Chain A
Amino acid sequence: MSELLKVAELGKSFGRRRVLTDVSFAVEPGRVYGFLGRNGEGKTTLARILMGIIPASRGEVLFKGKIVKFGDSEYKREIGYIPEDPFFYGGMKVGEFLRFNGSFYPRWNTARVRTFFETLDLNPGARIKTLSRGEKLQLGFVAAIGAAPDILILDDPTSGLDVPTRHDFLRNIIRDLAERGTAVLFATHMIHELERVADHLFILHGGRIILNRSFEDVKALTRRVRLWFDGEAPEKLPVEGVLSLHREAGRLEAVVFPWNGAAEEGIRSLSLIRTEIEPLSLEEIFVGFVGSGPARLDAK
């Protein structure tokens, strides 16, 4: 499948502080990419670099095979962006803002905007400053979808929204966009939201991408193992990819990625009284990757 977006060894520093280091990934049409990471791990910085709001310090971004330079604007016609804090002009009315925003996009689809707008509880005559956070987010989606983007970047827009809005609105829109061929890059803290829509998962940690896998792979290849030993538990496991390890007396608990034949073989070689191996939820997987485990994966 053709790559819409390619990011190669991207880096960003603010003064002496490195925020992103060697970030590389590719984006294909019709897929939903989830970005997870703790606060301050560079998700917003990455989104802003992709949108040309701030320049990268190193590396390059290619959109449809062409290198994107800081200051280029053409490629933004095909990318929608909804940030964490929607920043619209408060003095504008909803309808006025949509006309203003639409004027920047040659592919602006008025019919689609009208159809989508009718499903929402937005008054076109209302001033933007009077809208709730949820309504502003809805407006942001209308503005982004109207541009018929090939890529939609969502930088944690769901935090602070009520559960019904998150549950139905977001999921329906993201899935609808993906079915139309739009690639969605969704950075969030709401792991449950991501779990329901993502096809692919990135985990940012220490400014690097430490996991770059399809969602099925991540779910299928991450396991929690609980091991009971006859006597004292060892300090290490003879297994590659131990993300986290908790040891107490004769018991040991670990999260392992990737869980494969070699890992199973390694566990079988131990002298154990009892063994429990179980899959994890995305939240547990995330904690396993960014927690204080002894191992780090470099999935670059």
Chain B
Amino acid sequence: MNKQLIIKEWKEKFWVPVFALAFLVLFAVAALAFAGRRDFLDALTGAIQLFFLPLIGILLGASAFSSEFKEGSWAYLFSRPLKKSMIWLSKAVALAGLLAAIFLVYYIFLPLIPGFKERLNEIQFWGISALLSFGLFFISFSLSYLTEKQFLIVFFSMFIPAGLGLLFSSLLRVAYLLARSPAILIILIGVLGSLVFMAASLYAFCRTDFSQQKAKVFGFLKAFSLFLVLAVILGSAVFTIGERFQRLSFLHLETDGHAVYPNTSRGIYRYDADQDKLIKVSGASKFSPGLGLSVGGGKLFG
């Protein structure tokens, strides 16, 4: 990381924390003005965590290379004795640091504002808010050097992850997690998806010809496809292997006449009383988008 580059980024993007703080004041005023309106405060508390902070993340990421485009200074930076990876990483660290500071300020000060304090006891989305904010920040950051049109970056940063989320959920055999721990699934998709974007961005940033718009975009897409495939293979392998070593935990019992079917975390079994052992009849439940949960991978109970 280059300290001077990080400081430069902080100075250039100084307006973002100022903008976020101005909104914090605005939210405080709104909370005081509508102190008796519980429904309004509920909606605002949720919107700050699930919409406003992720939006700050997207805007911050999308503006990462704006000064380089606006002033043509990418050629200046590339002609200095700096590794391209260093430029990319310094920017990422500087802006992620800014986002973390904004997030922390909201996390600390929002509960201190009358009105929010009570609502936050019931409406707590800080975890998912952090995941969304940083996930979307890294996605928009990863795309930001591809075009100077920031609205395109914001648009793609919002809609690409939704599509990829669906793809991941079907490809990674996530029913197992979805059925038992949705938080792990969401974190996994968020982290893995962001990592794919970042890896593709860093790889293409270091290798492609910056002066050629098409080459830049194709370079990114090529790297993105490669890292996406790698992520899916890696994710699937982790799930498959992980499932084998998963402790057998009993979920519930199904009966069919004299047969007993213990449904477990590893799959569905039939208890054979003669042999006094469990015989596996199906893997764990599977999830497919649109079809919902398929018990016993479709092998059991129709």
Question: Is A251 part of the binding interface, using a Cβ–Cβ cutoff of 8 Å?
Answer: no
Residues of A36-67 contacting chain B, CB below 8 A: 48, 51-55
State the CA gap A100–B11 with chains docked (Å): 12
Q: Is the CB of A14 within 8 A of B212?
A: yes
Question: Is A77 part of the binding interface, using a Cβ–Cβ cutoff of 8 Å?
Answer: yes
- Chain B residues within 8 Å of A88, by CB: 71, 73, 76
Given contacts A48-B211, A53-B211, contact A89 B81 (CB under 8 A): no
How many inter-chain contacts with C-beta < 8 Å in the A-B complex?
69
State the CA gap A216–B207 with chains docked (Å): 42
Q: Is the CB of B81 within 8 A of A74?
A: yes
Q: Is the CB of A89 within 8 A of B73?
A: yes
Question: Is A83 part of the binding interface, using a Cβ–Cβ cutoff of 8 Å?
Answer: yes
Question: Is A176 part of the binding interface, using a Cβ–Cβ cutoff of 8 Å?
Answer: no
| Residue from A54, A75, A81, A100 in contact with B209 in the complex, judged by beta carbons closer than 8 Å | A54
Q: Is the CB of B12 within 8 A of A76?
A: no
Smallest CB-CB separation from A52: which chain B residue?
B78
State the CA gap A48–B74 with chains docked (Å): 12
Q: Is the CB of A90 within 8 A of B78?
A: no
Question: Is A91 part of the binding interface, using a Cβ–Cβ cutoff of 8 Å?
Answer: yes
Q: Is the CB of B72 within 8 A of A76?
A: no
Q: Is the CB of A90 within 8 A of B71?
A: yes
Identify the stretch in A101-109, A117-125, A179-187, A232-240 within 8 Å (CB) of chain B at 4 or more residues: A101-109
Residues of B169-224 contacting chain A, CB below 8 A: 206-207, 209-212
State the CA gap A202–B208 with chains docked (Å): 29
Q: Is the CB of B78 within 8 A of A104?
A: no
- Chain B residues within 8 Å of A105, by CB: 81
| B218–chain A nearest beta-carbon distance, Å | 12
Question: Is B299 part of the binding interface, using a Cβ–Cβ cutoff of 8 Å?
Answer: no
- Chain A residues within 8 Å of B247, by CB: none
Q: Is the CB of A73 within 8 A of B73?
A: no
Q: Offer 16 A-B interface pairs, CB within 8 angstroms, sorted by A.
A: A48-B211, A53-B75, A53-B210, A55-B209, A70-B207, A71-B83, A73-B83, A74-B81, A76-B80, A77-B81, A87-B76, A88-B76, A89-B8, A89-B73, A101-B80, A104-B82
Known: A73-B82, A91-B11, A104-B82. 19 other contacts (CB 8 A): A14-B212, A48-B75, A48-B211, A54-B209, A54-B211, A70-B207, A71-B84, A71-B206, A77-B81, A83-B75, A87-B73, A89-B73, A91-B12, A91-B67, A99-B4, A100-B4, A100-B8, A103-B4, A104-B81
Residues in B lying within 8 Å of A, measured CB to CB: 2-4, 8, 11-12, 67, 71-73, 75-76, 78-84, 86, 206-207, 209-212
